[in-house]
Chain A
Amino acid sequence: AQSVTQPDIHITVSEGASLELRCNYSYGATPYLFWYVQSPGQGLQLLLKYFSGDTLVQGIKGFEAEFKRSQSSFNLRKPSVHWSDAAEYFCAVSNTNAGKSTFGDGTTLTVKP
């Protein structure tokens, strides 16, 4: 069975600082990996996705993520965080591009001024 672990429940960073959110997955085959952001009262917005090819993927809003098969990880990064990035972030894994996904429990990001 596939599973996703996001070890950090809550992260606080200062505005302008760099950010890394961790994601570890368990999946038997080649995974499709996703990062979503959810603001209060909003649905999930896709930040980026990995299917194959280059292990460093670029997404929207200046986010990137790196797929490391040997570590079963897909960590999300941003070089300089903006106050508007404060939200909840979910990592997800699927066996296809648009099939049902298994989500982690999320990481809440707080941005200090």
Chain B
Amino acid sequence: GAGVSQSPRYKVAKRGQDVALRCDPISGHVSLFWYQQALGQGPEFLTYFQNEAQLDKSGLPSDRFFAERPEGSVSTLKIQRTQQEDSAVYLCASSLNPPTGQAGEQYFGPGTRLTVT
């Protein structure tokens, strides 16, 4: 009964470096979400996948942020040329159904804490 897993759990990057954050959703889950949680704030939506299709990327803060889910399971969030304001916890969530379904809920991973120095 594995839940959503994320790796690495902690990442320290120097300003200007590129980083890649991985999310392994629950097997069979159709929907996958990325959220950014700054210190002392609630999570903020970044992007959403239904299977391999990225249907909503309205929350990505800049074109330095890129996400993919090529085979409809594992997803990677990539941040290019990291800046200090990118320091946050990045949460991944998955759900069994597409958002229009009446069943299911989002299951969250433990997050990756990114610190940009």
Contacts and interface: CB of A to CB of B under 8 A. Distances in A.
B72 interface: no
A92 B41 CA distance: 12
B1 interface: no
B65 interface: no
Nearest to A42: B110
B99 A101 contact: no
Interface residues of A, number: 24
Interface in B24-43: 31, 33, 35, 40-43
B44 interface: yes
Secondary structure type dominating chain B contacts: loop
A110 B96 CA distance: 34
A97 B40 contact: no
Contacts of B93: 44
B83 to A, nearest CB: 22
B108 A43 contact: yes
Residue from A4, A44, A45, A92 with most neighbouring chain B CB atoms (10 Å): A44
Contact of A90 (B31, B33, B43): B43
Interface of A: 4, 36, 41-46, 49, 51, 90, 92, 94, 96-106
Which A-B residue pairs are the 3 nearest by beta carbons? A103-B42, A99-B99, A43-B108
30 contacts: A4-B42, A42-B110, A43-B4, A43-B91, A44-B43, A44-B91, A44-B93, A45-B108, A46-B107, A49-B105, A90-B43, A96-B99, A96-B100, A97-B97, A97-B102, A97-B103, A97-B105, A98-B95, A98-B98, A98-B99, A98-B106, A99-B48, A99-B100, A100-B33, A100-B45, A100-B59, A100-B99, A101-B43, A102-B45, A106-B40
